[in-house]
Structure 1
Amino acid sequence: MPGCSLSRRSATAELPPGTSQRQPALSGNGRYLASVVDLQGRPSVALQDLDQGRRVPLPLLRRHRPHSSPSLSWNGRYLALITQQGRGRLALVHDRRTRRLHPLRLPPAHEPVSLSLAPDAGSVALQTLHRGRFSVLLLDLSTLLEPDRPPGSRLGLPEGTAGTSP
């Protein structure tokens, strides 16, 4: 394709050799990569800082395995994922800055299947299974999480309108 170039960066920072990675999610700024890897026989999210070439520890998530469907906010502050809770599945958001986990409340009997976090972490799209049917729910997270916006973006202005006058 004209105007495109491909370059390769290692996406295996500090992972054991031969580790299988799947379900990749890249932060909006391209610095962080989350993927699901098998650790001690259980699917677990691995977060890698591609700029530093190192794995980022996620101690709060150790007891919430297995993991699936990781999604990152713009700067990688927030990591959304699906995990196991008892016999059911739970969607949650990990705030790496405050070191808090935010479970996402779903309507009764809706089982999370996959998710996608908005780059600013203001909302999340969740695919759920309810009575044998798939549906997509949009949850507003703006009262739960602080925005995670690109540097230089202004609060209160729609994307792409910074510096323009009416």
Structure 2
Amino acid sequence: MPRPLLILLASLALMGCNGRRERTGGGLLATSQQAPALSGSGEWLAVVSDRGGRPTVQLRRLSDGSVVSVPQLSRHQPHSSPSLSWNGRYLAAITQRGRRRLAVVTDRLNGRMHPLPLPGGRDPVQLSLAPDAQQIALQVTDQGRWRVELLDLSDLLEPDRPPGQSLSTPALSSEP
């Protein structure tokens, strides 16, 4: 066997020994979890997991692995397509009320849930919340066709910005 090939095989074997460690036993990689969404800060993870036979959003603080309840969503199941703002203040998801699917944004700071009504009988399929929570992109079905709509949430939600980032103000003019 040629020496370069032997070195390559030996290095690959050693790299396999230094694999990443993953949590088990109820950790982040528990079975039947899907649709992961990570907050912009990397502090929060939202997933959809099977709970009592119903897809349910589970919110986890990554620093200590604790699961944080989102009581506003508990009555409106099943859940799908979670999305988080920068600091995890806002959690957007698709829920179901009766036979109707509904996009909602939950403000975890004040406990409010904001339904996002869609005109014309459109049903949300998937969503993505902007990191500052000022916009949301929604994939919807409209008379058998897929569409993507962008909604402005700036009149509904306060911005969720990274720490230390201030609101921008216009530069002052040096002329009178």
TM-score, normalisation: structure 1: 0.85
CA contact (8 A) 1:128 1:136 kept: yes
Alignment of 1:107-146 (within 5 A): 107-146=119-158
Partner of 2:110: 98
Match of 2:40 among 11, 28, 31: 28
Q: Which amino acid aligns with 2:149?
A: L
Contact 2:35 2:81 in 1 (8 A): yes
SS at match of 2:155: coil
Q: Which letter maps to 2:127?
A: L
Contact 1:13 1:50 in 2 (8 A): no
Contact between 1:13 and 1:54, CA under 8 Å: does it hold in 2? no
Q: Which amino acid aligns with 1:45?
A: V
Indicate yes or no: 2:45 matched with 1:37. no
Larger helix percent: 2
Pair 36,152 (structure 1): closer, same or farther in 2 beyond 3 Å: same
User: What amino acid maps onto 1:127 in structure 2?
Assistant: Q
Tell me if the contact between 2:85 and 2:131 (Cα under 8 Å) persists in the aligned partners: yes
Structure 1 runs (4+) deviating above 4 angstroms are 6-9, 11-15
Secondary structure of 2:119 counterpart: coil
Q: Which has the larger radius of gyration?
A: 2
Query: Which residue of structure 2 lines up, in the alignment, with residue 162 of structure 1?
Result: none
Q: Which residue of 2 aligns with 1:72?
A: 84
Tell me, yes or no, if the aligned pair for 1:21 and 1:35 is still in contact at 8 Å. yes
**Secondary structure class of the residue paired with 2:56:** strand
Distance in 1 (CA, whole Å) between partners of 2:153 and 2:126 is 17
In the alignment, the residues of structure 2 paired with residue 89 and residue 12 of structure 1 have an alpha-carbon distance, to the nearest angstrom, of 33
> Which digits, 9 at most, give the CA deviation of each residue in 1:53-72, with x for residues without a partner?
20001111111100000000
Letter of the structure 1 residue corresponding to residue 164 of structure 2: G
The match for 2:173 is none
Residue 108 of structure 1 aligns to a residue whose secondary structure is helix
Whole-Å separation in 2 of the counterparts to 1:157 and 1:33:
32
- 2:99: which partner in 1? 87
Quote the Cα distance in structure 2 between the aligned partners of 1:55 and 1:90: 24
In the alignment, is the contact (CA less than 8 A) between 1:70 and 1:80 conserved in 2? yes
Note the C-alpha offset of 1:107: 1.5
**Relative to 1, partners in 2 of residues 1:13 and 1:117: Cα closer, same or farther, differing over 3 Å?**
farther
CA distance in 2, matches of 1:12, 1:71: 25
What fraction of aligned residue pairs are identical, expressed as a percent?
A: 59
